Amino acid sequence: MISDEPEFIAQYLTSLSSRSVRYGANHTPFRPHPKLLKRQPPTTSRVQPVEKPAVNQEDLTSQSTTENAAATIKVTVKTLKPASQFEIFNLKLTDTIATLKDRISQQRSIPMKQQRLLIKGKVLNDTKPLAEYAITDGTVVHLMIRAPATESKSEPTPASPPLAAVGAHGISKSSEDALKQAEVWRKLHNVLKEELGEEDARTVVSRFLQSEGWSGVSYEQLQ
C-alpha cells in the first residue's frame, strides 16, 4: 500500500506512459494559429561577383583600324556632263584620292588633270586618303570634267608606250573580258569542287559572281 501521495502519482504516470495512445474517430490534432508561429527571414546565399577580365580599348581600336584598312570597297562615280554612272572596285580606305582618279583615268580614259571629284559639294584633295572623307562601300562621288587646256605650239614630244587598259575590277581589260565567259568560271568551279566539294564550291562561286558584279554569268550556266 502506497503511503505517500506523491509516490502514488509518480507510479501512476509511469504506468500510463508505457501504454499506447489511441485517438477517437472525431479527434482533431492541435495546430497552432499561423500568427503565433515565429516567422523566419528567408535565407539568401551570398553570391560573389565575378570579375570580368579587363579589355584593352587601345587593342580593340587598333584591331578595328587594321581590319578597316585591309577591307576593299567599291565607289560609285557619277558625272553630269555627260550624264553617266560607273563603279570602281577593289579600293582600300588607305588609297588616296589621286589613286581613285588614276583608276577613273584607266577605266574611262579621262586625264587626271581634267578630273574634279566632289562629295556633297566639297572638293576632294588628291593627297588625302579615302577614309578621311568617310568614304565607305557604295559611297557616291561626283566627277566634274574640266575642259582640256589649250596646247601651245611646241616641238612634238615622243609618244609614250600605251598602258594596258584596266577594267572596273582592277585587272586588265582582256582578263576582265575573259572572266565574262562561262567556260572560264566552269573550269574554276571544277577545280574548287575537287578541293572543297560540291556544296562549298557552289557557295564560293555564287557569292563571288554576285558580289563582284560579273554581268552575263550565272551559276546555272556552270552546270
What residue ranges do the domains of the chain occupy?
64-145, 179-222
DSSP single-letter state for residue 166: B
SS3 category, 30: coil
Query: Three cell numbers at 10?
Result: 509518480
- Closest C-alpha to 103, from 26, 163, 18, 31: 163
Question: Strand (E) positions, 34-180?
Answer: 72-79, 84-92, 115-119, 122-123, 140-145
Identity at 215, one-letter amino acid code: S
Residue 44 scores a pLDDT above 90: no
**pLDDT for 189 beyond 80:** no
85: β partners: 78
Q: Return the sign of the alpha-carbon dihedral for residues 49, 54, 55, 57.
A: positive
Spell out the residues 6+ positions from residue 124 whose beta carbon is closer than 8 angstroms to its own: 97, 117, 118, 133, 141
Rg (CA), the chain: 44
Per-residue model confidence as pLDDT tens digits over 57-73 = 776 666 666 666 568 99
Closest CA to 138 of 89, 79, 76: 76
CA distance 118 to 55: 40
> Is 112's pLDDT higher than 70?
yes
Is the CATH number 3.10.20.90 carried by domain 64-145? yes
What letter would DSSP give residue 96?
A: B
Q: Sorting pLDDT into bands at 50, 70 and 90, what band is 40?
A: low
DSSP 218: -
Q: What is the pTM of this model?
A: 0.42
The H-assigned helical ranges of the chain are: 5-17, 57-70, 97-108, 173-178, 182-196, 198-212
Nearby residues of 176 by Cβ (< 8 Å), 6 or more positions away: 167, 168, 169
- The whole-chain average pLDDT of the chain stands at 78
Decide which of 108 and 176 is more confident: 108
pLDDT at 83 over 80: yes
What pLDDT sits at residue 184?
75
